């Protein structure tokens, strides 16, 4: 399990840019409302953090 | 590297649309595709599949910003993603759209003459008579095309500027269609 994890903020616009860039297909836009990260699949690479046009995805240390 | 699908090439739609409108403004009617398909998908249970996969505009900005490195890739200001700004921009956009429809109706009814101009950023009128070669239908059909092309050109300019200044797909944050479809999905989800 990776040390870091991507966390999607409240202001997600559900554009899917994060989903497209994720190398592990660990993010999906659920019901057109917001992006959801699968903690099991996320490797904490931070690509989605740099891509999110709203700048609302954070890379946090796993608990 | 993810495998490319047919829909990954839809970025071609926006440049082709803008170029066609320079030759014959009636092609601007094709812009309705970008209005009706995302709404249809959202209303009939497909969520934001249009934004996520099929939006040519998002793909184009991604291409220009990432592949052609035209974007500074800076985090956009926080206000852009605030509901106040997004829904405010949607309201403004829809108001301007309704005003455009009213003008079109006036031209259809003969109360107003056809204006062969494209308005960018809702302010600056560009003479566009070179792309109008008449129509067998009412001049109102052409008036709608000029209005539609103005909307598409304006959104392309705004999207391009924010692509350069911030991240490639910054337009997606405040895109009125994206806000509207997300709003529909949220309502359907009861959130």
Structural domain of A43:
4-61
- Residue B163: pLDDT band by 50, 70, 90 thresholds? very high
Is the four-CA dihedral A6, A12, A23, B44 of positive or negative sign? Answer: positive
Q: Given CB atoms, is B177 within the 8 Å cutoff of chain A?
A: no
Structural domain of B33:
6-189
Q: What's the structural domain count of chain A?
A: 1
Contact across the interface for B73 and A29, Cβ inside 8 Å? no
Domain at A18, CATH number: 3.30.70.20
- Residue B24: pLDDT band by 50, 70, 90 thresholds? very high
Say if B139 falls within a structural domain.
Answer: yes
Say if B55 falls within a structural domain.
Answer: yes
B73: left (phi over 0), alpha (psi -120 to 50) or beta: left
Per residue in B38-63, pLDDT (tens digit) is: 999 999 999 999 999 999 999 999 99
Mean pLDDT score across all residues of chain A: 95
Q: Given CB atoms, is B142 within the 8 Å cutoff of chain A?
A: no
Q: Can you state the percent helix, strand and coil of chain B, rounding each to 5?
A: 70, 5, 25
Above 90 in pLDDT, residue B185? yes
Q: Given CB atoms, is B166 within the 8 Å cutoff of chain A?
A: yes
Interface confidence, given as ipTM, is 0.93
Q: What's the structural domain count of chain B?
A: 1
Distance CA B145, CA B160 (A): 22
Shortest Cα distance, chain B CAs vs residue A13, angstroms: 6
Distance CA A12, CA B186 (A): 12
Query: Which positions 35-74 of B are in contact with A (Cβ < 8 Å)?
Result: 42, 46-49, 51-53, 58, 62, 73
Q: Say what the pLDDT of residue B191 is.
A: 61
Residue B168 has phi, psi (to 5 degrees) of -50, -45
Residue B117 has phi, psi (to 5 degrees) of -145, 150
């Amino acid at each position: 399990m990776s040390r870091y994890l991507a966390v999607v903020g409240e202001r997600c616009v559900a554009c899917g840019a994060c989903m497209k860039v994720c190398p592990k297909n660990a993010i999906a836009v659920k019901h057109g409302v917001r992006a959801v990260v699968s903690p099991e699949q996320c490797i904490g690479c931070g690509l989605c953090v740099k891509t999110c046009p709203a700048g609302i995805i954070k890379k946090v240390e796993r608990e | 590297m993810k495998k490319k699908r047919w829909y990954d090439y839809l970025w071609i739609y926006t440049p082709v649309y803008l170029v066609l409108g320079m030759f014959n403004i009636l092609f601007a009617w094709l812009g309705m595709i970008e209005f009706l398909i995302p709404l249809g998908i959202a209303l009939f249970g497909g969520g934001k599949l249009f934004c996520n996969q099929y939006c040519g505009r998002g793909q184009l900005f991604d291409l220009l910003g990432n592949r052609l490195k035209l974007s500074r890739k800076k985090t956009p200001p926080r206000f852009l993603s605030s509901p106040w700004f997004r829904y405010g921009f949607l309201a403004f956009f829809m108001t301007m759209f309704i005003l455009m429809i009213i003008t079109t109706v006036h031209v259809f009814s003969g109360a107003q003459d056809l204006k062969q101009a494209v308005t960018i950023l809702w302010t600056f009128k560009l003479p566009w008579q070179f792309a109008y070669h008449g129509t067998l239908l009412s001049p109102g059909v052409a008036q709608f095309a000029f209005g539609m092309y103005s909307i598409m050109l304006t959104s392309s300019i705004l999207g391009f500027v924010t692509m350069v200044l911030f991240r490639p797909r910054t337009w997606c944050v405040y895109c009125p269609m994206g806000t509207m479809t997300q709003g529909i999905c949220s309502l359907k989800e009861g959130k």
